[in-house]
Each structure stands twice: as C-alpha cells, then as structure tokens.
C-alpha cells in the first residue's frame, strides 16, 4: 500500500469505474494479465506504483546484492508514482484537460548521517499516453513525471509466462534539483510475481467493494548510482515493488492504515497490513507470506495482529507514530523496529498529505535480524481523506 493523493484529487468521479466491457475494473475473479496489468488503468479511481528498498555502497555498480550484505545497509529509498482520476472534463478531447492527476514522492534515508530527505512532483494529465511531461503507458509500465520515471523492461508477456519471467528489469530514475534525493537504479526480478489476496484481488475492508487489484515483486536485486553530498556512489541492495489500483479502499470507519513489506534475509517475503479506526482498533487486516522457493500463503483478516509499541512524536506535525510493532501472523511472531525515527513525509505545502514511511528491520523471537523492508503508517496526523 502507499499513501494517497489529497482529497481534492480523489474526491471527484465517485462510483465504480468501468473497463472496456462496461464492468468494474476491480472485481473478484478478474484474471491479471501481464505485461498489460503492469501498465495504467485510467478508468480505475486511484492507482500507484511503489518501490522501496535498502542500499549499501559497492565496489562497482555490477556487484550483486546478497542477503549477507543486509548487515551493511546504509540507505533506504522509496519512490511512489500515483495516478488519480479526477472525474473532470470527461467529455473533452483536449490534451490539456485535467482528467487525471499524476503525483510522485521520493525519499532517501541516510542511516549513518541520521537524515531523511524527500521531495515530490505533481502534474495534470489528460490521459493521453503520449503526453511528453506527464504520462502513464497503458500496455506496460512506463510512468513519467518530467524527468522522473519508473519503467519496466523485458518480460515475455501472457498471464502464466510473465509471472515467472526473470528477464524483467525495473528502471527507476529520480534526478533531484539538489543532492539529497537523486538516484538512478535498476531492479532485477529474482522471484515470480506475488499476487496478493485472492489471485490479485485484495480485500481492504468488511465490504467487497473495499478492495484493490494488488501484486508485489519482492526480493528485487538492485544496482545503480546514488548522488549525495560528496558525490555519486555505486550502490546495490534489495527492493520491493507494489502495484495497486482501486475504485474504493477506505471504509467510512477507517482513518488510515499500517502496512509493512519485508524482504526476509532467507529469500522469503512477508506482507501485513491493517485498516485502523479512530480509536486505534483494527477494522480489517490481511497480508501474505511466501517462503523462499515456496508457494504463497495469504492471511485471513483474523489471522493478522499488529500491536503498536514505542511512540515517536513528529516535531513538524505533532503526530504520534508507533515505531515499534509486534507482528503476529501464521508465519510467526516478530518484532518490527524503525531504523530511524524521523522518516515522516510532510507535504502539507503541496498535496496536504502527511504520512510516515521508513526503513525498518524485522527481528525474530531471539532478537536476530531476519528481514529488512518498509513500514508505512497513514492517518496519524489526521484522518486520511480519499474523497
């Protein structure tokens, strides 16, 4: 999951979107087909492509990332591209009509320097895939906001073949105006696609319509270059990619969510999330576990328990975030700890969205690190509004 666009961008155009057959774009039983479903789904109300991971300095950019180097993780990174259907100018043929809004966030966490840098971009999009400054391809992933880009390369296509195709490479380009957030990375698939929920239909609430189509790519092997104060460095590490699209996610009682996506050091992958009421209780939960080389196991709502621990208060927003969690699922009991407290993304001067999203470690019952990944928490600086 990833934090959403502000209400102004998502509040219009309510109601189920329709695909070419006149049916909802998000429905149980819809078979995801690739590479088509890597691309944009403009009739769906909201959509995002979301990549997080950790990086360490390498001798050369070609150095392969291994689980053993997780102990030397120096940086966390995230980049998210959002698309939101506004419901405006639907009858217009103008390439300047604001039928869609594209928005992107990028951040780098410097563990040694104890710093978190983030930036953002936003643009109107007519829905024309050929638009030069803001575009999202329909037949495969190629999403651009000015010089920022996330693009998939390779892959054989078809539902079955693409799931297991190791030729796929994701290109991430986020050139910054300064040196704090500036990277060019490529992430190579090392495992099959992970279809979350029921074959990619992921419930997010007690009602069937509160759902998304959702797949993940855990254990992506990352190499590239990161620009920071002092110059550029070659980096390698591991990443996690999510792609989701939805017509409706939040139940009226939900104020936000807590989500984690963890690449386990043994090659496995753990996802867990919950939708949260205003009193802190869990409205809905879910997730999945895929052991290294094994079949995924999706969790029922009652099988996931996320218990908050240590709190941190943001000096920028006064929001209080739990930065330590006990995670209980059918995969076991773990402790999750943020590796840096100040990883809040405060964009009140831009989109109005405030959320916490940062690099975290997963510990087993003996206190040993067994995974690295990202924790995301929304709705702590005020109810998350999605229209």
Place of tokens 């209080």: 320
Give the whole-number percent of the chain exceeding pLDDT 90.
64
Calculate mean pLDDT across residues 62-90.
70
Question: What is the CATH code of the structural domain delimited by 7-378?
Answer: 2.40.370.10
The average confidence (pLDDT) of the chain is 85
Q: Is the pLDDT of residue 160 over 90?
A: no
Using alpha carbons only, give the angle 174, 179, 185 rounded to the nearest 5 degrees: 35
Q: Is the pLDDT of residue 43 over 80?
A: yes
The ranges assigned to domains in the chain are: 7-378
- Look at residues 218, 269, 224, 278 and name the one whose alpha carbon lies nearest to residue 243: 218
Q: CA Rg, the chain, in Å?
A: 19
CA distance 142 to 148: 11
Phi, then psi, of 148 in degrees rounded to 5? -80, 145
Read off the pLDDT of residues 80-123 as tens digits, 9 standing for 90 and up: 999 887 755 555 555 555 678 888 999 999 999 999 999 988 88
* CB proximity list for 64: less than 8 A, separation 6 or greater: 221, 223, 236
Q: What is the DSSP string of 250-292?
A: --TT--EEEEEEEEETTS-EEEEEEEE-TTS-EEEEEEEEE-T
**Per-residue CA distances from 187 to 89, 200, 226, 376 (Å):** 37, 22, 14, 21
pLDDT at 64: 46
pTM, rounded to two decimals: 0.89
* CB proximity list for 136: less than 8 A, separation 6 or greater: 39, 40, 42, 81, 83, 100, 102, 125, 129, 142, 143, 144
Read off the pLDDT of residues 338-380 as tens digits, 9 standing for 90 and up: 999 999 998 776 566 899 999 999 999 999 999 999 999 999 9
Read off the pLDDT of residues 246-281 as tens digits, 9 standing for 90 and up: 998 788 999 999 999 999 999 999 999 999 999 999
pLDDT at 163: 64
Q: Is the pLDDT of residue 18 over 50?
A: no
Phi, then psi, of 71 in degrees rounded to 5? -65, -20
Q: Return the higher-pLDDT residue of 321 and 383.
A: 321
Cβ count near 23 (within 10 Å): 12
């Amino acid at each position: 999951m990833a934090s959403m666009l502000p209400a102004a961008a998502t509040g219009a155009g309510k109601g189920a979107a329709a695909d070419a057959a006149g049916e909802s774009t998000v429905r149980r039983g819809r078979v995801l087909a690739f590479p088509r479903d890597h691309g944009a789904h403009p009739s769906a109300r909201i959509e995002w492509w979301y990549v997080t991971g950790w990086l360490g300095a390498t001798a050369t950019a070609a150095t392969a990332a291994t689980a053993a180097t997780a102990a030397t993780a120096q940086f966390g990174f995230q980049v998210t591209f959002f698309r939101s259907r506004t419901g405006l100018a639907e009858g217009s043929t103008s390439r300047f009509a604001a039928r869609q809004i594209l928005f992107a966030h990028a951040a780098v966490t410097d563990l040694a320097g104890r710093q978190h840098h983030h930036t953002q971009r936003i643009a109107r999009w007519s829905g024309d895939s050929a638009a030069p400054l803001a575009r999202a391809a329909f037949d495969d992933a190629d999403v651009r906001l000015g010089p920022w880009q996330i693009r998939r390369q390779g892959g054989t296509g078809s539902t079955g073949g693409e799931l297991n195709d190791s030729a796929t490479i994701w290109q991430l380009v986020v050139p910054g105006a300064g040196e704090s957030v500036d990277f060019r990375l490529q992430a190579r698939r090392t495992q099959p696609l992970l279809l979350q929920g029921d074959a990619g239909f992921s419930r997010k609430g007690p009602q069937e319509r509160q759902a998304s189509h959702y797949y993940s790519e855990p254990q992506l092997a990352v190499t590239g270059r990161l620009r920071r104060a002092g110059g550029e460095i070659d980096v390698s590490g591991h990443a996690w990619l999510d792609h989701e699209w939805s017509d409706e996610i939040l139940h009226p009682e939900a104020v936000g969510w807590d989500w984690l996506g963890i690449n386990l050091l043994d090659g496995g992958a753990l996802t867990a999330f919950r939708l949260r009421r205003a009193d802190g209780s869990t409205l809905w939960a879910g997730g999945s576990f895929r052991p290294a080389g094994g079949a995924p196991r999706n969790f029922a709502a009652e099988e996931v328990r996320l218990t908050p621990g240590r709190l941190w208060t943001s000096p920028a927003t006064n929001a209080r975030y739990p930065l330590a969690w006990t995670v209980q699922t059918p995969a076991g009991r773990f402790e999750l700890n943020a590796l840096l407290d100040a990883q809040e993304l405060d964009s009140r001067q831009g989109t109005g969205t405030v959320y916490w999203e940062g690099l975290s470690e997963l510990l087993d019952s003996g206190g040993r690190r067994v995974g690295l990944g990202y924790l995301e928490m929304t709705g702590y600086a005020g109810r998350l509004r999605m229209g």
